[in-house]
Amino acid sequence: MAGTAVSIAWRRHPRARRISLRLEPRTATVIITLPPKASEASGLAWLHQNAAWVERGLSTLAHSPRLADGETVPLEGAPLVIRAVPDARRGVWREDEILNVSGDVAFLPRRVMDFLRAEARPRLGARLRARAGDMGLTPARLDLRDTRSRWGSCTRDGRIMLSWRLVMAPVEVQDYVIVHELAHLRHFDHSAAFWTLVDRYAPRRHAAERWLKREGATLLRIA
């Protein structure tokens, strides 16, 4: 990473067995997680060994979408063209593939984000109810959050958490994450039985995992 300034954050995890690297998409920070007895020097050595991976990741983050007039933002995988309408007083409204945003353009990014968050609950809620019905499962409730490191989670008491940003992902990707978390209501682990259940109701899970690995960081950077 010669000549490239990299922001680093250190984490020490009591159960970590090896040094790991993760890119935090919103701040373009490399998070280095160390096992209890590992030194920061060994963490830096591992960072330099994986310099090519870090540079590719930072390059991808540098080309994240902007929320501005004429740019696009995805909704369930389909791009919407943002159109500033400063003289209008209608908030944000959609016309086919156009997302109209009224008012001062200085507030356009926030208004687009508010629109997406508002779309997330009914859309993701409907997907959760539909897939739970297919699987014969009953989650206790749905929480939507703006998480950095996971797209979903499930608690032992049946609460499902999803990242609201999944509303920007294609429906089949949403379905995979939802099925994954619902499957934990029956198997609170990642056993063979768990993956058999996931594959039954999300047969395209490998494609969804690849999509999230390829595009997920971009969704996290949209702001």
Mean pLDDT score of the chain = 92
Alpha carbon 26 to chain centroid, angstroms: 11
Q: Map tokens 């897939």 to a residue.
A: 131
Tokens of 221: 């950077």
Q: What is the pTM of this model?
A: 0.77
Question: pLDDT tens for residues 55-93?
Answer: 877 777 666 678 999 999 999 999 999 999 999 988 999
pLDDT at 61: 67
Tell me the C-alpha distance between 176 and 172, whole Å: 6
Residue 25 clears pLDDT 80, i.e. is over it: no
SS (H, E, C) 135-164: HCCCCCEEEEECCCCCCEEECCCCEEEEEH
Q: Which of 42, 41, 17, 43 is nearest to 31 (CA)?
A: 43
Q: Are the C-beta atoms of residues 186 and 132 closer than 8 Å to each other?
A: no
Tell me the C-alpha distance between 223 and 215, whole Å: 15
Tell me the C-alpha distance between 47 and 4, whole Å: 13
Other beta carbons within 10 Å of 167: 24
User: Torsion angle, CA of 208/98/84/171, rounded to 10 degrees?
Assistant: -20
Q: Which of 173, 190, 13, 160 is nearest to 77 (CA)?
A: 173
Which pLDDT band, with edges at 50, 70 and 90, does 192 fall under? very high
Q: Which of 44, 55, 1, 6 is nearest to 27 (CA)?
A: 6
Arithmetic mean of pLDDT, 108-128? 97
- In the chain, what are the domains? 7-62 (no CATH), 72-221 (3.30.2010.10)
Tell me the C-alpha distance between 182 and 215, whole Å: 23
Tell me the C-alpha distance between 135 and 117, whole Å: 27
Direct distance between the N- and C-terminal alpha carbons of the chain, in angstroms, rounded to an integer: 27
pLDDT at 1: 56
Question: pLDDT tens for residues 86-106?
Answer: 999 889 999 999 999 999 999
Question: Long-range contacts made by residues 111-116, C-beta under 8 angstroms, separation at least 24?
Answer: 112/67, 112/73, 112/82, 113/67, 113/222, 113/223, 116/73, 116/75, 116/164, 116/165, 116/167, 116/168
